[in-house]
Structure 1
């Protein structure tokens, strides 16, 4: 094409001024794609309607505070509202999401942004809604699967059927790891339209720094083993298991970076005898600040029950910090060499502690850990997207 490929990125997973860390992995992939100069994009990132911005409503209040339109790093983003009623929200979300975004998409077309395809992220409900929009506006679309959209939601019969329908309509389905696409294959998706495009890591943003200097700046103990666990404070991230693992690691301390619904429970667990003073809660941190926390640690521990492609693993390794992670879904594709770290077969505190001890006994060279992460730059994924989008838009034309 003589002009850039025009894409409409559609997803509820996209940061905003009100929720700057929400869906940052989608924004990161787009940012890297735009660096190629071969793609022009507008973002439609719908937000559930909520009537109050009162702080007591937590994340719902932040959704209500999301502006209808904003720009981030030169990218134009619209946040139309859609209804997410209680009890039946999961079932009706694809339709209400598509209806809520329809007027915005129509306006973009009227104002001259005649996009070539819809680039949707997260299979359900976002991908199913994108399939509806694509049908209404006669555009091809692709859907990127990212984790729980395919390793959990298809357990529910109706969403499973809608995912199958959307996969059959899509010009392409992208998985951030092979394990996610295996789910679509089992559901009957056309293998020729399935593409693995792993997430990369920003090797400039995440780079090794002096461990002692980072600890000093962050107010962490200069001496002793230090673990870090990064992610939303929800059960599936396994922060509680990392806290319990401290019972088997008497010389280690732990920093937990993140915020969420399990905060009170985790504080209670950290206050039990033998753990007092050994767990620091750093709260949610912007992605730009995480490099110091990774660099300060001796190991990142990710005890998740479900992940697609966990970005925190590559971010930590890019800082020279090896990882310990549960052997689930795409994680073995990330932690695929001894210098990367250790995989845990059983998701319990004792197994996590044993893996940490094995890692400390080996003490991988931090420079080697960094070299391993350098194999995961964004360039191959960005080029793969350009190639796929070019074929789809060319076929549509």
Structure 2
């Protein structure tokens, strides 16, 4: 019997944002590749009213097809209206109103068995409303900021909690995330820890010296992979750099925070030792990881960052802050260090790994449990259970 899944995700790549939610796409492909599973992806696009929608940042989104084949899946991209800087709770109502006619039509053509919401906000509350309208169960996955931010804000906390309470089941990207959800009053018996996956054939150990030469780098290289936003803590890495005189720091990611980082680097006199790679296509990341001696990401909050796992799979140890599932991943010295979010502590941890680099095969061993096959098995069992209970 085929399981017909509606995957609802505001985190999903498109031609203008190929790295946006790439881990959600990979999870969707794993699930869709299973026998007797049919996945339809609805990835709503939030755009402001005209004439703001004509702004340069929104033009590529406006040009996207409303329906397309993406990696052998059918993806719908209906538009809903957002109010820049005032979104939040209004996005739930706007998105639901915009996509419900499409969902009703698709459900009438081929009834869905379960809704899989990829992010807790706004996807979770929207899934709750779709569930009520169509009479089918739903699941929501918590990944990080959706709980730590939207789950704590006065205007959205109740919606997050209500979506959790009425879901047939819930997923958390780490055990630490599950504990955070329980502290909000969410029933932890409903929550299943669902680790991310990593493509172990693509993200593998490669010759570091050759990778550095190919990219034009010399000496120790520290890499940070993540959007350039304050929460990711890239400023702390810049402040750590004066304590690491021979190190080149690379940022793989983009964001408006880059201007702040550039100004700080100039003030500290380290601007010539920092490289900004921009948004690196996901399939090019392995060789960037290969060139790095250490991958550092000292975020204020995370669930379980894909960049952590990808770096380890490439044999590159990590220096990360004590957030989210950090301790579930860095469970042995070879994996790297968990540090306080202070420049001196960060620099000391990086220097320790540079002075005594761990065996790269031992580093990679840490990531071998995070496979997409395991991820897909767990997700399929989870959704089948919810669909079955919803039909009882």
Q: Given the two structures, how large is their TM-score scaled by the length of structure 1?
A: 0.94
Q: Tell me how many residue pairs correspond in the alignment.
A: 390
Whether 2:296 is the aligned partner of 1:301: answer yes
The residue that corresponds to 2:384 in the other structure is 390
The residue that corresponds to 1:350 in the other structure is 344
User: Structure 2 matches for 1:31-70, cutoff 5 A?
Assistant: 31-50=29-48, 51=50, 57-58=56-57, 60-70=58-68
2:154 to 154, 157, 160: 157
Deviation at 1:88, TM superposition (A): 3.9
User: Structure 2 matches for 1:155-304, cutoff 5 A?
Assistant: 155-221=152-218, 224-272=219-267, 274-304=269-299
- Kindly provide the CA deviation profile for residues 41-67 of structure 1, in whole angstroms up to 9, marking residues without a partner as x: 000000112446999633x33332332
Q: Distance in 1 between matches of 2:28 and 2:275?
A: 33
Aligned with 1:250: secondary structure?
Answer: coil
The residue that corresponds to 1:333 in the other structure is 328
Q: Distance in 2 between matches of 1:279 and 1:54?
A: 35
CA contact (8 A) 1:53 1:61 kept: no
CA contact (8 A) 2:116 2:138 kept: yes
Alpha carbons of 1:116 and 1:296: their partners in 2 closer, same or farther (altered >3 Å)? same
Deviation at 1:106, TM superposition (A): 1.6
Q: Distance in 1 between matches of 2:343 and 2:59?
A: 35
Deviation at 1:187, TM superposition (A): 2.7
Whether 2:14 is the aligned partner of 1:16: answer yes
Alpha carbons of 1:375 and 1:53: their partners in 2 closer, same or farther (altered >3 Å)? same
Whether 2:378 is the aligned partner of 1:379: answer no
Q: Distance in 1 between matches of 2:51 and 2:316?
A: 42
Deviation at 1:191, TM superposition (A): 2.6
Alpha carbons of 1:273 and 1:90: their partners in 2 closer, same or farther (altered >3 Å)? closer
Deviation at 1:273, TM superposition (A): 5.1
Aligned with 1:155: secondary structure?
Answer: coil
Consecutive unaligned residues in structure 2, runs of 5 or more: none
RMSD: 1.8
- Kindly provide the CA deviation profile for residues 212-260 of structure 1, in whole angstroms up to 9, marking residues without a partner as x: 2222222222xx1110011111111111211111100011111111111
Whether 2:132 is the aligned partner of 1:138: answer no
- Kindly provide the CA deviation profile for residues 192-219 of structure 1, in whole angstroms up to 9, marking residues without a partner as x: 2111111121101211111122222222
Deviation at 1:75, TM superposition (A): 0.9
Consecutive unaligned residues in structure 1, runs of 5 or more: none
The residue that corresponds to 1:98 in the other structure is 96
Q: Distance in 1 between matches of 2:372 and 2:4?
A: 20
